[in-house]
Amino acid sequence: MTNKKDIAILRVNHLRGPNIWTYRPVIEAWLDIGELEECPSNKLPGLYERLTAWLPGLIEHRCGVGERGGFLERLRDGTWAGHILEHIVLEMQNLAGMKTGFGKTRSTADHGIYKMAFRTRDETVGRAALQAGHALLMAAINDTPFDLQAKVAELTELVDRYCLGPSTGHIVDAATDRRIPSIRLTEGNLVQLGHGSAQRRIWTAETDRTSAIGESIASDKDLTKTLLASCGVPVPEGSVVRSAEAAWEEAQDIGLPVAVKPVDGNHGRGVSLNLMSEADVHAAYAIASEEGDSSAVLVERFIPGNEHRLLVVGSKVVAAAKGESLWVVGDGTSTVTQLCDSQINIDPRRGDSEEFPLGLVTPQDSEIKLDLKRQGLTPESIPQAGQKVLIQLNGNVADDVTDEVHPDVAYVAALAARVVGLDIAGIDLVCEDISRPLEAQRGAIIEVNSSPGLLAHIKPAKGEPRNVGRAIVEHLFAEGETGRIPLVGVTGTTNAALTARLVGTVLNLSGKHVGVANRDGLFLDGRQVTAQDGTRFDAGQRLLINRTVQAAVFESNARTILSEGLPYDRCQVGIVTEMGMAADVADLYVRDDDALYNVVRSQIDVVLSDGAAVLNAADARVAALAELSDGAVLFYALDEANETLKAHRAAGGRVAFVRGGHIVLAQGIEDMPLLGIDKVKPATAAQPEALLAAALAGWALDVPTDLICAGLRTFDAAAKKGKA
């Protein structure tokens, strides 16, 4: 046992898929609360006051009470340390910017030992939050200091480093709303939406439809302008130059004022605007040349007006934002840099991470220094009291104006994206009034950006947030598409592995490329790819990532569900062949049949509403899972006289059984003899229950009965792996 005022964390496990706790990934911790088992929260002096002082957000935790303040009510009346730690960890994650709300804590049969689970969006962050929460709780119990601000800062840094960026997360959330599954492919923002052959991929605002040629064109401003102009898109006149002297000559030819920018680049970097003198043009040339790492620089007519960013997805504008000039007002004592910090960077919308729609302003940037120089200032200058100083003429695009965009402007922006060849593009244009056609005000498109930022539209400084993630998901998946392929999950012991292979064979004969992951390995169209245990989470994910796979079958068991979770979020067909023995997973604190039932039920909990559960009616515990299925239920048993089978059939349900040595499918009063077991390979026929389960799975997936027969008849369980 641990000391009285300590909690030992015995084991920490990341359940990456649906599990006994919830459908989503969680961190599960085994806790030994020691003698705190005899000291609920109402017997620990000052605990309530210290926790509520440190974490006032706990008032929002509803807990089992079901209303605001529910957890604090439990804390005040008396609850145990494991439950308290659960809520502290959740709140620590919330403070760090990773919003989560699910958590559960349950006692085990062993005195003082608890299992605690909490939702997390990243394993590294979740584990760190657990350790931080443990330290905070111990400090609150023992009345010792705790530096909450420092711990939250550490967690926030981990969230920024390991979690999806806000733009990518917004798209993934939109996919989730459409019930489209997602898989994060890297530690960065590369995410797969959907499974197997139905998948699409995103990388923030790039998709697998984004043209590499289009991206290259967009990064070449001169080429972009040439193509746009040839298609009638208004662009500022200008030319590429290769020296500061040539830049000034071009500026004189065009007419002042002018803009100078790198030829190869985007997102406004290295751009200087409203240049009126030779010195300014020379200085701007140096900035643009350095930013573009090339002597080639673009000089073009300066377009007066406000900068706007229009987001084009597919063939239409889905959001628009407007920029504003940035000014500071002198106080006679502060430098320009200090004024920027006190008047601009103090804005809560600004920050140096992805979650902020506006960036921090740094007067030391070359473009800002040039603007200051033109006003006779430097970043260290002290403007007079009341003096207005221009910091940035354009940029800071963050005010939503989507509803103001003129249809002609939207058409031109969408055309620009198509001309360049981008399926998602950020179109930068300058005009006085976005509600009027560009031609009527000498407006122009100044830049086409690939991989545009989305935050200005998701979290605008002013105006209505736009659900651009939904627009991107709708662009990738037509109405009615879910990104799903037929998935079959098989949970059990003796018959599960063979059942999975048989179902895979039946689906393969129906014309699909099929992956199977079971205890014998990983199989693609019947060919063994690896002989390593395929019931592990990673093996299942390999099938879901494979673009050639059109259907997949997975074997699971109580141990893999407890230790990793299922490798998929939902399945079309869930099969339970046997319940197994609690003794096999007793080391995981599953000590009785009720606890085992709670584990195996996970397989049926994930069946889609238009799917089916296939259950062994000969095992009463398995048959009892029927009530949990959101989809249809199909039963099988060797004995046609099985009471569960008879009742289900009488109610019009589908069943399978053996009669006179033949496999029979039945529904209501109709019998459909399938094939004689003597026609099946001997090693396969030795497990007739597996044949029945596989036949029902094929039926549930609308595979023609002749193909079901062919699959059962041709598969040979005795053949070398990969030859069946």
Got the DSSP string for 263-327? SB--TTTT-EEEE-SHHHHHHHHHHHHHHHTSS-EEEEE---SEEEEEEEETTEEEEEEE---EE
- The letter for the amino acid at 355 is E
Whole-number average pLDDT of the chain: 94
Three-state SS for 13?
A: strand
Token duo for residue 236: 């500022």
Return the residue matching tokens 């931080």.
Answer: 132
722 has a pLDDT exceeding 70:
no
269 has a pLDDT exceeding 80:
no
Q: Give the pLDDT of residue 34.
A: 94
What average pLDDT does this structure show over 48-69? Answer: 95
Give the whole-number percent of the chain exceeding pLDDT 90: 89
Q: Which pLDDT tens digit goes with each residue over 686-717?
A: 999 999 999 999 999 999 999 999 999 999 99
Q: Give 719's contacts (C-beta < 8 A, 6+ positions apart).
A: none
What average pLDDT does this structure show over 580-590? Answer: 95
Contact between 132 and 154 under an 8 Å Cβ cutoff? The reply is yes
What average pLDDT does this structure show over 462-479? Answer: 97
What average pLDDT does this structure show over 538-566? Answer: 98
pLDDT band for position 370 (cuts 50, 70, 90)? confident
Three-state SS for 42?
A: helix
pLDDT band for position 721 (cuts 50, 70, 90)? low
**Between 366 and 317, residue with greater pLDDT:** 317
Q: Give the pLDDT of residue 723.
A: 47
Q: Is 586 exposed, middle or buried, given 0-12, 13-18 or 19+ CB atoms closer than 10 A? A: middle
Q: Is 54 exposed, middle or buried, given 0-12, 13-18 or 19+ CB atoms closer than 10 A? A: middle
Token duo for residue 193: 């939406």
Token duo for residue 85: 């730690």
Burial 139-167 (b: 16+ CB within 10 A, else e): bbbeeeebebeebbeebbebbbebbbbbb
